[in-house]
């Protein structure tokens, strides 16, 4: 499973990229707004840091405007994936982009039926949200599983991006189910390193080594 970082923060991205495990980035209007820099400029900076798919989301709500805005975003860098909401207008824009060969990420997916529409429209990526479904007492991972099954049944090439992953458990479950991509905030990615037995084991190894060679310095 590919690991994407869900952020528009350059410091977070640089730190994660140094680990050599990040394959791409997803952004959204909220993340861009948090950084206080125009999307074109911030996304271009992100593209300079990592060579992978970078999702940049439109803020228009009507198909014609989405297409115009999406073309502008796609021109920023070859790695840009135009992010569209899973609305009627978003699907219309997705269909048009698919004809043109412009890659899209259809986001805010909360049902298997919606995911089917995204695949039919030729989306490059679909983004079902796990954590937000968990928040309303629905099992978000069941959505990932259903979408993977449907796409497998019919050979759809749209990649399933498990979004709103809020814990290492979410990440592991998405990978086990077969999601193509998991996107997560830096905090979640950082937590994946943690295990008390790893820390304890390293402490013992270093203590034993230091004790054995203490008199040979």
Catalytic residues: 83
Q: How many residues does the chain have?
A: 217
Name the CA dihedral angle for 65, 70, 72, 76, rounded to a multiple of 10 degrees: 160
Contacts of 168 (CB under 8 A, 6+ apart): 188, 191, 192, 194
How is residue 8 written in tokens? 């528009």
The single residue listed with the structure tokens 């040979």 is 216
Task: Give the C-alpha separation, 183 to 185, whole Å.
Answer: 7
- Residue among 103, 145, 109, 104 at smallest CA distance from 127: 109
Contact 93/69 with Cβ under 8 angstroms? no
């Amino acid at each position: 499973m590919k690991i994407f970082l869900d952020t528009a923060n350059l410091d977070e991205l640089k730190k994660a990229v140094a680990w050599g495990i990040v394959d791409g980035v997803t952004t959204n209007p909220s993340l861009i707004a948090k950084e206080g820099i125009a999307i074109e400029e911030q996304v271009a900076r992100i593209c300079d840091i990592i060579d992978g798919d970078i999702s940049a989301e439109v803020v228009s709500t009507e198909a014609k405007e989405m297409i115009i805005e999406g073309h502008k975003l796609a021109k920023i860098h070859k790695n840009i994936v135009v992010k569209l909401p899973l609305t009627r207008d978003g699907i219309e824009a997705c269909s048009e982009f698919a004809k043109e060969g412009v890659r899209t990420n259809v986001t805010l997916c909360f049902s298997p039926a919606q995911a089917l529409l995204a695949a039919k429209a030729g989306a490059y990526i679909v983004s079902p949200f796990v954590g937000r479904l968990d928040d309303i007492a629905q099992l978000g991972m069941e959505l990932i599983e259903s979408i993977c099954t449907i796409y497998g049944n019919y050979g759809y090439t749209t990649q399933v991006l498990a979004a709103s992953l809020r814990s290492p458990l979410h990440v592991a479950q998405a990978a086990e189910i077969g999601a193509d991509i998991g996107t997560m905030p830096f905090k979640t990615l950082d937590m994946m390193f943690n295990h008390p037995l790893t820390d304890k084991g390293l402490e013992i190894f270093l203590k034993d080594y230091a004790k054995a060679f203490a008199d040979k310095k």
